[in-house]
Amino acid sequence: MTLLATKIISDTWIDADWQEFMQLTENPDYEKGKFYYYQGKLRIEMSPLGNDHASDHSIVNTAINNYSALKNINLNGKDNCSYRKTGYQEAQPDLSYYIGDIVNAIPYGTSIIKLDDFPPPTLVVEIANYSLKDDRGEKRLLYEEIGVKEYWIVDVKKSEIIAFKIENQGSYRIRESLVLPHLKLSLLEEALRMTREKNHSQVNAWLLEKFNL
């Protein structure tokens, strides 16, 4: 029985060659899935994301955009964008950003960003509600190989951000962003905790005040 004739178990890494992976990306049964490919294994995430994931996704994205605007940091953001190195890697992070000198590296009209032709994003963010173990494990290794500069994991259940500086295909933990200079991750964590009791307008107003200090 071929892989394509088998019902794919979501949120699990499965042995597959690149051709099988590509065929699955075109399968309408998985059109709402998020796709990853790394070291001869594929992963399709089909779990319902739900309110908590969506809320943290929104507040983190807004915070990054507002901070960049206030600090005059050149930034372009991507929401659930696919990155592909043909035959080897694919990732579809929740959020990703091109920052600084490569801010305009991806022209409009581009669908999947092919890493054979374009640079990887500067910053990648995964919102982890049910996927924390994998986000800390295989996906971190995948982003190390892709060559992003910074990788954040938002732990929805704990309102924490686990962040890594990536260089030379390795990574180490950080508590202050280097690609968004002087942005303390503890401030964003406090904002995440506030969203459990306050609406996003109130939290964003608080963040803007803090960013302006």
Per-residue confidence (pLDDT) for residue 7, from 0 to 100: 64
Amino acid at 94: D
Helix/strand/coil percent split, the chain, to 5: 35, 25, 40
In-domain check, residue 2: no
Per-residue confidence (pLDDT) for residue 1, from 0 to 100: 35
Q: Over 174-193, what HEC string results?
A: ECECCCCCCCEHHHHHHHHH
CATH assignment at residue 88: 3.90.1570.10
In-domain check, residue 188: yes
Three-state SS at 10: coil
In-domain check, residue 16: no
Beta bridge partners of 99: 75
- Mean local confidence (pLDDT), 2-8: 57
Residue 184 CB-half CA count within 13 A: 8
Q: 81-128 pLDDT, tens per residue?
A: 999 999 999 999 999 999 999 999 999 999 999 999 999 999 999 999
Per-residue confidence (pLDDT) for residue 213, from 0 to 100: 75
φ/ψ of 13, rounded to 5, equals -80, 130
Q: Is the pLDDT of residue 5 over 80?
A: no
In-domain check, residue 60: yes
In-domain check, residue 173: yes
- Number of folded domains in the chain? 1
Q: Which residues contact 51 (CB under 8 A, 6 or more apart)?
A: none
- State the residue range of the domain holding 78: 50-211
φ/ψ of 93, rounded to 5, equals -65, 155
In-domain check, residue 34: no
CB atoms within 10 A of CB 197: 8
Per-residue confidence (pLDDT) for residue 49, from 0 to 100: 74
Q: 29-85 pLDDT, tens per residue?
A: 898 899 999 999 999 998 767 899 999 999 999 999 999 999 999 999 999 999 999
- pLDDT-based confidence at residue 11 (cuts at 50, 70, 90): confident
Q: What is the distance between the alpha carbons of residues 85 and 1, in angstroms, rounded to a whole number?
A: 28
Q: What is the distance between the alpha carbons of residues 133 and 186, in angstroms, rounded to a whole number?
A: 21
Question: Which of residues 94 and 2 earns the better pLDDT score?
Answer: 94
Cβ pair 55, 124 in contact under 8 A: no
In-domain check, residue 159: yes
Q: 142-182 pLDDT, tens per residue?
A: 999 999 999 999 999 999 999 999 999 899 999 999 999 99
In-domain check, residue 146: yes
